Amino acid sequence: MNFFKKLNYLILTTSIILASCSSDDDAIQNLSGENNLTIEFDNSFNGDDLLLGTSTYVNGNNETLTINRFNYIVSNFVLIDAEGNEYTYPKDAGYFVISEEEEMTEVMLQNITAGEYVSVRFGVGVDREKYLQGAAGQGDFLQVAEETNMMWSWQAGYKFLNFEGSFTSPTVSTATDFKIHMGSHGSSLDNYKEVTVNFPTAALVSDALSPVVHFEVDANKILDGNTKILLSEKAVVMVDEVKSPQIAVNTTGMFRVDHVHNGENIDH
């Protein structure tokens, strides 16, 4: 009798699993229409929430930071589906400032074609093609950048990253201001970079599904990334032919997708 009970349980469990898989497969196969895809940027520092002006953080260079500003530009979004097909978001609508101090931490990509998206590629900064369209070609984004301290001037260009605060270190005992402003300068220093980030689970878009992709963005990587940048050596980096490109590469390492919500009206 126990044998038959176990057999029936196994059959029932297998049926439920197969039905669930079939349901998921049907949902994916029936994706149609279009909808919005939202990207949330949760700013952090080495695993801790980023709190401007109120918390201190220690990086791998043994420097203690108080962060007062953490702004960056993201742009040129391309969604990649499970088959490797790419959906390119309209370029003129695809430039956004992420600003912790202004609570601008969400990007909504509108009217995305239905699909099972497994990764996203995007730029950090403003590409040269867009900049060369001139001030008139920037649309509303130019004003947004000016209002969020992401411009030096039109001639000098955009700040792709604006990272400011104060620090101490074993060699700097008095709190000292730091400013890391990274962007492109002239024709010889192009710091615009692109990064591709995989999703832990697919983002499903359809006329009934509007996913939310939740990024964790680690500001620690700016100084403590592929190249170690010591504030005790240089606390203000703006136009630097050596350190600016290094910071640009470090910045691409900030981004990781923590989770994906598939659905509508989800409390995230």
Strand pairing class (34-45; 48-49): antiparallel
pLDDT at 243 over 50: yes
Does position 104 have pLDDT exceeding 70, yes or no? yes
Helix (H) / strand (E) containing 68:
strand 64-81
Cβ–Cβ < 8 Å for 212, 157: no
Average the pLDDT over each of 4-13, 50-59, 115-124, 221-230 and give the range with the smallest value.
Answer: 4-13
Ramachandran region, residue 47 (left: φ > 0; alpha: ψ -120 to 50; beta: rest): left
Q: How confident is the model at residue 189 (pLDDT cuts 50, 70, 90)?
A: confident
Residues 74-87: tens digit of each pLDDT: 999 999 999 999 99
pLDDT, position 239: 83
Q: Per DSSP, what are the bridge partners of residue 98?
A: 72
Contacts of 123 (CB under 8 A, 6+ apart): 74, 75, 76, 192, 193, 194, 195
**Residue 156 φ/ψ, nearest 5 degrees:** -80, -25
Q: Is 48 helix (H, G, I), strand (E, B) or coil?
A: strand
Distance (Å, rounded) from C-alpha 232 to C-alpha 16?
60
- Compute the distance between CA of residue 106 and CA of residue 122 in angstroms, rounded to an integer: 15
**pLDDT confidence of residue 156:** 85
Range in 15-29, 92-106, 247-261 the model is least confident about: 15-29
Q: Whose structure tokens read 């201190």?
A: 56
Least confident of 7-21, 76-90, 146-160, 189-203: 7-21
- pLDDT the model gives residue 153: 86
CA distance 65 to 57: 5
Give which of 141, 58, 125, 55 is closest to 93, Cα–Cα: 141
pLDDT at 29: 58
Q: How would you classify the pairing of strands 172-182 and 86-88? A: unpaired
pLDDT at 186: 65
User: Residue written as tokens 């867009």?
Assistant: 130
Confidence of residue 267 (pLDDT cuts 50, 70, 90): very low
In terms of DSSP bridges, do strands 106-113 and 115-124 run parallel, antiparallel, or are they unpaired? unpaired
Kindly report whether the global pTM for this prediction surpasses the value 0.85: yes
Q: What count of other Cβ atoms lies within 10 Å of the Cβ of residue 220?
A: 21
Q: Delimit the domains of the chain by residue range.
A: 1-30, 32-261
